[in-house]
Structure 1
């Protein structure tokens, strides 16, 4: 897929895998800045066409090398707004392997929306995609597109229109903000909406990278990272005191965005103010991924995943060759243990805790794919550092802590960089869930699915877990006796295991 944007041009090669899955295998970006070549008559100049063709020739070398037969080449605002766009498209077709599809304002907005609802847990919200020459916003509810609009300005066009030097003065920033506000306020369906704003595109990604760098964010990943209006203002304030040379060297900021990041942040800040958004969320999935989801519709008739998080977990199960039969058995046993303990413990357990436990049971074997001896460390690292669509960063951390649980000491070690993220009560619950998972896993140690029922009784001496089996259970009993100490520490009660034949 080739994305001809106003600021950058990008070639991304995807490999089509099992069960409708696309995997990115190549990503090449060129800061062509075609917007600079749109003259006063709104024509893409001869020099602009030369830059476009030269960049496409570079991409052509790569697509030919990989023997790519199916290339989708799309163009957005600059080509769309060029009065000579038909001539430009004709020249591209004559001089390259590619045929340009110029996206309409609706299509550009729609594909961004489609990527967001297929890669996040948001059912209702506002999307924004700031390109170089246009800004698309949408409002969606119940995962359906309700409203859309394309503003004829972007980070690069704002820079060209309002900024004389490399970076804006305070007065120029005020002028940008005033103009952007006047534009946003023309849309009544945005005012006071008080919904999450989900942002896509390079400017939003760079702002998030800067914020993570400024606060030394300890968790990996940008997708579904959340910021507040105050966070956005904090980034803007820090950048506002820097020179253009400082910005070019700043970690987390692409050098080619040093002169457009501040105009973009003015747009983000103003949209949050006008809508009263409670949070600003980044989606790494945008226009290109939206187009891919549209491709899925052709052979499979699917436009929206029924459950985004479930799709992510199915992908992990495939990627790491997880034994699904064992997972199902452990999940069943862990759920039974949870429900029995829930009725008898002196600290509260919620439905959300059971949901996290079930998810952790699906992926607790992840680390074994790399090394069974240090499985816990690998499981924690993989889950804490892998993008998982449809789950927040905090819940991803919780998932990693439960799935990798091997004891209180390791838990504290993993938790150290995130100690301010959760209360002591939350940590206590996570240790309990991790201990339940350890015991449930041990009860299927030989992967024969011999446990047919589990019951839990409580008396003055502690808990008794009764395990009914339909086959020889000595291996399971040995492992469970080793692992029950984790439950004893988590519940602060003695635990007796009673294995019985069916």
Structure 2
């Protein structure tokens, strides 16, 4: 399939951004270009509601520059959308006409409802969260939604954003303590006007640049060892600490905070207060970042036209399929190993071997799709490549802890290598949990050794338990010598995890 590129320009109140997406062979969108210009168009809104000529000119100059970038790609489609600053301007029609006349773009000004909807759509199509709130604070508006069972239930757009809140409450570059108290009270009153926001105890999902900066600051302060921002989780105490920490800093130090964009230094405090106030009101069970936002939501709608729904059936399943396709993994072998693993797992569970749970099977099955995918890069160091690729690649539908578990299981090679990989993350897991993950990884490696030549030689597994050993009979329909050699070699890792000797019986049937 030839490469298919799509472009979108998002004319926001704080910044204007151009993103180019490549639609890969699995049908998913992948960012290949992301260009941002800080325009702060909301500051050009005059008292009479008009966007000033200077503001229009700044926007036109930026769009002209972006158009030159677009010309370097053969695009399937390009879209230009605008949000609060253009939506709130009384000369909106004139602005849209100027963009068409001078650049040739058809600018679509999103309504408040559309802007909120696209944020929600981006979240439910890029995470496995089925119920939660989304909050997207831009320069001139703040969109909040509530969804349940992945369906939008409520949405609202407040006509204030990071820039307008700063202008309303801060006389200087940074707020006084009294100004910050006034901001907090203002937000509390506005948010309490929505009865559906109260005490839901579900995730609060942050969208947009402000949320991204808050997460980057938190990760830098914690020296967070895992790569990626999408689906990163913070707690109330984390948000409170960052808000109070940033409040103590003068502007020069604020601009140098690791993770904070210099152009957002003067508006980060209103952003953190919006998130923290919402967290407290909703009694959220976590603040989670979605790197997918309005722009992604627009394209999700576009790409699902004619399907009867704009929701992807299973976000994680599609992400796993994407990995299998990207690394040319063998679907036939995956399904055969899953068949053997399910038989082994069920019989272990039935006989009380390994203290296995239903969730364990979900974890094993998930890891079986991507086991040893690092072989694609280098066979000799495949375990290292497997762990790195899975631990440091965003996988839509998996929170960071689950992504790490997946990487540890799919890269399992030995206890020594496992301890090496889990080293930076040891505090994330209790000791017994580490041992359990290692056992599941050893079980998966054992099952892959049963199909080491990818011929499906071993067809079925039978487990018997006696006082001293676990006896595993392996029924075969083809010559099994290579599988016997590999399995005898690898079973020691499972024996160490289970603290039981394993005897193998290969039976030609």
Whether the 8 Å CA contact 1:60–1:97 is kept in 2: the answer is: no
Cα deviations across residues 8-64 of structure 1 (Å, max 9, x unaligned)? 100001122334322211110111111111111111000000100000011011011
Aligned partners of 1:169 and 1:349: how far apart in 2?
A: 56
Matching residue of 2:15: 8
1:312 and 1:410 map into 2 onto residues whose CA distance is: 26
Matched, 1:73 2:84: no
State the partner residue of 1:430: 437
Q: Does 1:337 align with 2:347?
A: no
1:46 alignment counterpart? 53
Shift of 1:228: 1.0
Instruction: Please give the per-residue CA displacement for 1:357-410, whole angstroms capped at 9, x wherever unaligned.
Output: 011110013101111110000100011101011111111111111000001111
SS in 2 for 1:353: helix
Distance, in Å, in 1 between the alignment partners of 2:356 and 2:506 is: 26
1:455 aligns with 2:455: no
**Match among 84, 90, 95 for residue 102 of structure 2:** 95
Q: For residue 85 of structure 1, what is the aligned residue in structure 2?
A: 92
Report whether the alignment pairs 1:139 with 2:146.
yes
User: Shift of the alpha carbon at 1:299?
Assistant: 5.0
Tell me, yes or no, if structure 1 residue 281 matches structure 2 residue 283. Answer: no
Given that residues 74 and 102 in structure 1 are in contact (C-alpha distance below 8 angstroms), is that contact kept between their aligned partners in structure 2?
yes
1:35 aligns with 2:42: yes
Whether the 8 Å contact between 1:120 and 1:390 is mirrored in structure 2 is yes
- Distance in 2 (alpha carbons) for counterparts of 1:132 and 1:194: 28
Contact 2:348–2:354 (Cα < 8 Å) also in 1: no
CA contact (8 A) 2:348 2:356 kept: no
CA-CA distance at 1:302 after TM superposition: 4.2
SS in 1 for 2:503: strand
Q: Does 1:465 align with 2:469?
A: no
State the distance in 2 between where 1:185 and 1:300 align. 38
Q: Is the CA contact 1:296–1:302 (under 8 Å) kept in the aligned structure 2?
A: no
- Give the CA deviation at 1:246: 0.8
Q: Among 239, 246, 254, which residue is 1:232 paired with?
A: 239
Whether 1:370 aligns to 2:362 is: no
Q: How many residues align structurally?
A: 502
Q: Call closer, same or farther: CA 1:16–1:350 in 2, change over 3 Å.
A: same
Shift of 1:156: 1.1
Q: CA deviation at 1:65?
A: 2.0
RMSD: 1.1
1:315 and 2:345 matched? no
1:266 Cα offset (Å): 0.5
266, 269, 283: which is aligned to 2:276? 269
Unaligned 5+ segments in structure 1 are none
Displacement of 1:69 in angstroms is: 5.7
**Structure 1 residue matching 2:403: 3-state secondary structure:** helix
Instruction: Pick from 483, 490, 494 the counterpart of residue 487 of structure 1.
Output: 494
More deviation, 338-347/483-492: 338-347
TM-score under structure 1 length normalisation: 0.98
| TM-score, length of structure 2 as denominator length | 0.97
Structure 2 counterpart of 1:242? 249
1:199 Cα deviation (Å)?
Answer: 1.1
**What does residue range 178-189 of structure 1 map to in structure 2 within 5 Å?**
178-189=185-196
| 2:428 is aligned with 1:421 | yes
Match of 2:409 in 1: 402
- Is contact 1:166-1:244 (8 Å) kept? yes
Q: CA separation in 1, counterparts of 2:307 and 2:372?
A: 31
Match for residue 201 of structure 1?
A: 208
Q: Find the aligned partners of 2:476 and 2:333 in 1 and give their Cα distance.
A: 16
Q: Unmatched 5+ residue regions in structure 2?
A: 1-7
The yes-or-no answer on 1:148 pairing with 2:155 is yes
1: CA distance, partners of 2:238 / 2:474: 51
- Asked if structure 1 preserves the Cα contact closer than 8 Å seen for 2:26 and 2:325, the reply is no
1:168 deviation in Å? 1.7
Please give the alpha-carbon distance, in whole angstroms, between the structure 2 residues aligned to 1:79 and 1:99.
Answer: 14
SS in 2 for 1:337: helix
- 1:199-219 alpha-carbon deviations (Å, 9 max, x no partner): 111101100110111111111
Q: Does 1:501 align with 2:508?
A: yes
Residue by residue over 1:174-193, the C-alpha shift from the partner in whole angstroms, topping out at 9 and shown as x without a partner, is: 11111111110100111122
Q: Of residues 203, 207, 224 in structure 2, which corresponds to 1:217?
A: 224
Q: What's the counterpart of residue 30 of structure 2?
A: 23
| CA offset digits 1:268-295 (Å, max 9, x no partner) | 0100111111111111111011011101
- In 2: Cα distance, 1:437 partner to 1:410 partner: 15
Aligned-partner SS, 1:82: coil
Looking at structure 2, the residues matched to 411 and 161 of structure 1 have their Cα atoms a distance apart, in angstroms, of 54
1:195-253 Cα offsets, whole Å, 9 max, x none, are 21111111011001101111111111111111111110011111111111111111101
Distance 1:307 1:69, change over 3 A: closer
Residue 130 of structure 2 contacts residue 148 of structure 2 at CA under 8 Å; is this kept in 1? Answer: yes
2:45 and 2:86 mapped to 1: Cα distance?
A: 9
1:323-349 CA-partner distances (Å, limit 9, x unpaired): 111111112212221222223346521
Distance 1:401 1:68 in 2: 39
Q: CA deviation at 1:469?
A: 0.4
